[in-house]
Chains A and B, each alone.
Chain A
C-alpha cells in the first residue's frame, strides 16, 4: 500500500523481490501515470503490466481490492469488472470480454540487490 515509484532517473524502483512472494501480485503507482503497474511473480520471473483492462477504450483498472489481480487459482491476471482472464507471461486475454486483446507490457529491470525497476524512466501521462 502506498508504494510509489518516482520519476527521477532510470532507476525508479517499484518494489523489492523480497516483498513480492512467488505466485503473488501487487499494484504500484508511478508518479505521473494514470494507472498502476501490476507486478506478478511467477516461476521465479517478475512480469510487469499496466493496470488497464483493454475491454473499454483507454482501459480500466482491474483489481477488486488493492493488489487483488489474480484469479482464484492464481493462474491468470483477472479483470474483476467483467471476468476477463489474461496470461501472466504474455498478457494475452484468453477468456472473457477482450478475448485476443492484450495488456500493455511494462519492461522491468532487476538490480543485484533485488530491486525491481522500470527499465526506462516513466513519461508523464494525461490523466
Chain B
C-alpha cells in the first residue's frame, strides 16, 4: 500500500488567534487566515496544518475526550495507491469519495481519516552539512551558522496518538494499510512507517485510558540540528514554553524539541531522523528516560564568560 505519510492535520480549536500566533512563530506560513475562520499553515513542501474553530460546521465530528485533532489526511503516491486504499477499506467500512478527490473514513478507534494523492512538492534546499576532520561536507568559506539563517519546518513528519487499544491500532495500520513496524517502546507502544516512506516513523501510539484518546504531539522535520536549535531558541526568546528538549531520541535518532501549544498537544521540531527499509529488524526497549533520550539538554539564555576581574 503506497502511503507516504501525513499531508495535513486538521484541528478544531478554542482560540484561533492564539494558534495563529503560535504556528506562525513556529515557522509555518499562514494561508487564507482570518481570526474568525482560521486558516492553513504550510511547511516548505506544502504539508501542514488546518486550524478551524471547534464548532466549525465543516469539520468532522470531535472525539469525546476534548482532543482538538479532527482529521488526519494521509498522502499516497498516486491514483493507483488511492484505489488500493479504497478497495481494502471498503471491505468493512464506509469509505466516502469526496468531490475534491479524497477518500474519507474512520480508523478502528474513531479517528477521522482522509487519503489523497500527496500534495508534497519536493524542495531544493539541501540538508545541514557537517565538516568532520578529513571529510568536510561544506565548500570552503561556507558558514555553518548565521544568527538570522532561516529555520522553517520543511515537511510534516509524524503524529503521536494516545489510543486505548494498541493492538487495534497496529492491526489497522499494519495489516490493513501495510505500515511497517520499526521499533517498540515497551509500556508505550510501536513506531510505524508507511511503505512509501523510509522515515523511522510517521506514527507512534501510546497506550492510555479511553478518556485520553487524541493527539499527543505532532512534528515537522527541519533541515538539521542547527536549524532545530535555532528555531527552538527563537521560540524561547519570544516567551513560548518548552515541554521537552532539546535532545536526541534513540529510536529514530531524531533530534527533538517539544513545545506546548494552544492546539492542546505538543508541537515538536524534529531533525535528522533515521530511515529504514524492509530489511530492518525492530528493536524493543522499556519506555523511560534511558530509552527515550540519547542526551537531553535544557535551554538557557545566551551567556559567555567575561574578561575576568579587572586589574
Contact = CB atoms under 8 A, between A and B. Distances in A.
Given A60-B243, A63-B260, A97-B212, A72 B265 contact: no
A65 interface: yes
Interface stretch (A17-25, A38-46, A81-89, A107-115): A81-89
B241 A78 contact: no
Instruction: State the majority secondary structure of interface residues on A.
Output: loop
Interface stretch (B13-21, B169-177, B193-201, B273-281): B13-21
A81 B215 CA distance: 10
Interface in B1-50: 13-15, 18, 22
Interface string B176-191: 0000000000000000
Interface stretch (B65-73, B99-107, B121-129, B222-230): B65-73
Given A73-B14, A80-B264, A82-B266, A64 B65 contact: no
B66 A64 contact: no
A33 B240 CA distance: 20
Contacts, number: 69
Contacts of B256: none
A82 B241 CA distance: 14
A95 B65 contact: yes
Instruction: State the majority secondary structure of interface residues on B.
Output: loop
Interface residues of A, number: 23
B165 to A, nearest CB: 17
Interface of A: 1, 60-66, 68, 71-73, 78-83, 85, 95-97, 99
Given A78-B264, A81-B260, A83-B265, 13 more contacts: A61-B241, A62-B260, A63-B241, A64-B18, A64-B241, A65-B240, A68-B18, A82-B264, A82-B265, A82-B266, A83-B214, A95-B65, A96-B211
Interface of B: 13-15, 18, 22, 65-68, 162, 208-209, 211-212, 214, 216, 239-241, 243, 259-262, 264-266
